[in-house]
Amino acid sequence: MENITINCQWIDGDFYPKMNKTIQISIVAYEHSSGIPARFCTGLIPAIELSKKLKSIGFKSLIRLINPTPIANYCNGWQTKESQFKNIISEFLNKHSIDFFFDEAEQVSNSGLEILSIIGEELLLAKDTMIIDMVQRVRESGRKHGGNLGAENAVLYMAAHPFSWLDMYHSLIWKKQYQNDDYQYVNLMSKPELRFTVLRKFLQEKRPDLSTSIKSVDLYMTVCNTPCYIRLEDEPTFTDLNIKGNDWCLKRYQEIKGKSSNHRRALKDFEALMSFL
């Protein structure tokens, strides 16, 4: 079983699992304030397929579901509400006999925010032109939705990113710490996360005092280029999927695909989900 290569249609490139390791696959999934889209579970497909392929050749694997709700709520000014996304994910993964667990960010505290502010300053003071460009893009996105406060909170969100993907650790930012040598860690992300990957690596180098020894493998999905947990304008909801069915939702996605490139990608993601099911 030396030099094993795994290729999956839902993932860009190949994956090379390490012998005698349990493969832990991290993906993000949470309930956005706009509601749960009908295509929500599309984001789980790549992780399920990778897990099944690993199992078929004798590897153990489990999915770590990153839940950034506390920091996301703070940075976006959302109110905490009762969520159903964990039940949706659990039911979907259990149907496919996949081992998984949820891993949530720590609750936001003043001390935690102080740490993130200090880390964020590293981004704002960066001299590298690529980092400057990435930071500017994310800040402008935050400003567009929340003014100057939105821009400031976008920096905090960028600073929190390395903690969710295990590049960095502090008990005030993330609840659980990982150090087990028996695991190979895989980060499975949508392609928009690529900009955050650049920032993660930069911060990891700038703050060795907070960096972990974990060397994760970053893989990118061929679906969810518009994140599947963020509902677009007029997009069918998960409730629509349950009550009105697949065909109604597909028709609705086809009707709204002309609204934007994001809506066109959302249609493709829903079609991918239907083909998977």
Residue 127 pLDDT: 94
Report residue 210 as tokens: 């907070």
Residue 150 pLDDT: 82
β-bridge mates for residue 25, sequence order? 63, 186
Residue 146 pLDDT: 78
173: CB partners within 8 A, 6+ apart: 71, 105, 106, 112, 115, 116, 160, 163
Domains, in order of start, for the chain: 6-106+164-276 (3.40.50)
Residue 82 pLDDT: 63
Residue 238 pLDDT: 96
Residue 142 pLDDT: 81
β-bridge mates for residue 30, sequence order? none
Residue 45 pLDDT: 97
Which of helix, strand or coil describes residue 109? Answer: coil
Q: What is the DSSP string of 191-255?
A: GGGHHHHHHHHHHHHH-TTTB-S--PEEEEBSS-SS-TTSPPTTPPBHHHHHHH-HHHHHHHHHH
Q: How far is CA 16 from CA 20, 55, 64, 184, in A?
A: 13, 14, 19, 10
Report residue 240 as tokens: 């629509």
Report residue 135 as tokens: 């930071």
Strands (E), 117-207: 183-189
Strands 217-220 and 183-189: parallel
Q: Which of 192, 277, 274, 193 is nearest to 236 (CA)?
A: 274
- Please state, in angstroms and rounded to a whole number, the distance separating the CA atoms of residues 266 and 39: 7
- Please state, in angstroms and rounded to a whole number, the distance separating the CA atoms of residues 201 and 105: 20
For the chain, which ranges sit under pLDDT 50?
Answer: 1
- Please state, in angstroms and rounded to a whole number, the distance separating the CA atoms of residues 48 and 61: 10
Helix (H) or strand (E) holding 23: strand 22-28
- Please state, in angstroms and rounded to a whole number, the distance separating the CA atoms of residues 48 and 46: 5
